[in-house]
Amino acid sequence: MPQFRPLEGVRILSFEAAASLPAATRALADLGADVVRVAERPGTYNQHLRLFDSTLINKQSIRLDLKEPRSLDLAKQLASVADVVCSNFRPSVMPRLGLDYETLRALKSDLIVLQLSGYGTPGPWQDFPAYGPSVEAAGGMNAKMGTANEPPLRVGGSVFADTLGGRYAALAICGALVQRDATGEGQYIDLSMYETIVSGVGDAVLRAARDGEAPARLGSRDELLAPQGIYPCLGDDEWVAITVATTSEWAALVDLIAAPSLADESYRDVEVRRRDHELIDGEITEWTSSRSKHEAAEALQARGIAAGPVLKSSEVASDEHHRARGFFQYVDHAQPLEGYGRHPHMTVPGRAEGFDRAALSDHNPDGSPAEQVLERWLGLSHQQIEALRAEGAVGELVPVLAADAPKPSWFGGRDAAREPEFARRLGLGERAAE
């Protein structure tokens, strides 16, 4: 079947750092866009930049020192043949470099330009530095996490604001492309990560405006449904998540776990169940703690009760449901990581009928793709490109390093090099020679 690549032919020039915009352009590349990432200068952070959760997959990179006139001129040439130019520096950076919207628009009238920043412009916070955790806190997300008797919490160790901001950026770019097809006009988009977080907790914001106080932190429980929670299972740090939404599901749960204390007819009322949540949790825990998380989830699902095993990140890539849907693809990397050159990477969530998911390609292991970019986008010859290198307009990319870097999120802290069985479950193949 053909691959699902609806953005094939769309050129995106991305001045990106950290994780938010790389997440956006990775999604667009997965949909077929030709994404070129501008790397300004070498450094450890750029070398390890989110390689391990795959934001460099499907892209090519070129190193330009934007403070040098010849490199800046080359960046403008690339922008003049792009469909989209995007950046996620502080809002003052691109204008200071001479790459503001008006300058870019003069190069190509129908150009789409997106600026993704922590707080957006205008506003008193527009030049504040921002990383995902600070934006999540400012947007009200952390205040919803945890329980009433403990401080606000983050959503695990992942950077939720970067991922969400990146997805909204990709959506905004797709919308601007549709508008350009209809009107022939480009667009400037100023996107705020702060606003994406607020949009995700919008119900709490509106309720606080109405009631004058923020909703209480409930942990794993729900304001309307009961019981709901995450319950311990057999084994170390093993859990199952359970939600009971209806009276019939409650009856099925009581019958399954055979708890006489829960058979009282009053528990058909959800308010009574919410009142006695602690007692109910105790009975559920007694049942779940003698079963594996998968056994418990399957037994509950067989009764029509929403339940899911709490998978560790080291279990996700080998999950049979993901494999059945083809969500992970294996990419052969030029540089082995953890002793293996073949690793699983996530594709676009969702399958389009009549199409295969688009194939993923390796990130740039070195600076060679610069020549491919300049030849493909600008039609430059090998001699012209070598002249640019000689005068320092195009720099060499520092190879992406695995040494001393954090393990990829799908390893979940596990060491595949020392755990052959774990590597086998992941499908990493044979270890590369040392």
Residue 325 is predicted with a pLDDT of 92
> Look-up: residue for tokens 């690339």?
78
pLDDT digits (tens, 9 = 90+) for 62-118: 989 898 999 999 999 999 999 999 999 999 999 999 999 999 999 999 999 999 999
Confidence check: pLDDT of 351 > 50:
yes
The correct answer on CATH 3.90.650.10 for the domain covering 228-311 is no
pLDDT band at 7 (very low <50, low <70, confident <90, very high): very high
Residue 232 is predicted with a pLDDT of 98
Q: Distance between CA atoms of 395 and 338, rounded to whole angstroms?
A: 28
pLDDT digits (tens, 9 = 90+) for 200-223: 887 887 887 788 777 888 889 998
Residue 396 is predicted with a pLDDT of 76
Q: Record the pTM.
A: 0.88
Confidence check: pLDDT of 227 > 90:
yes
Domain ranges of the chain: 11-199+366-399, 228-311
Residue 406 is predicted with a pLDDT of 44
Average pLDDT value over all residues in the chain? 87
Type of residue found at 206: L
Q: Return the minimum-mean-pLDDT range out of 232-241, 261-270, 326-335, 343-352.
A: 326-335
Residue 341 is predicted with a pLDDT of 75
Q: What sign results for the dihedral spanned by CA atoms 187, 191, 196, 199?
A: negative
pLDDT cut 70: percent of the chain above it = 84
Residue 275 is predicted with a pLDDT of 97
pLDDT band at 135 (very low <50, low <70, confident <90, very high): very high
Q: What DSSP string describes 365-427?
A: SSSTHHHHHHHHHH---HHHHHHHHHTTSSBPPPPP--TTPPPPGGGTT--TTT-HHHHHHHT
Confidence check: pLDDT of 412 > 60:
no
Q: What fold does the segment set 11-199+366-399 form as a domain?
A: Rossmann fold (3.40.50)
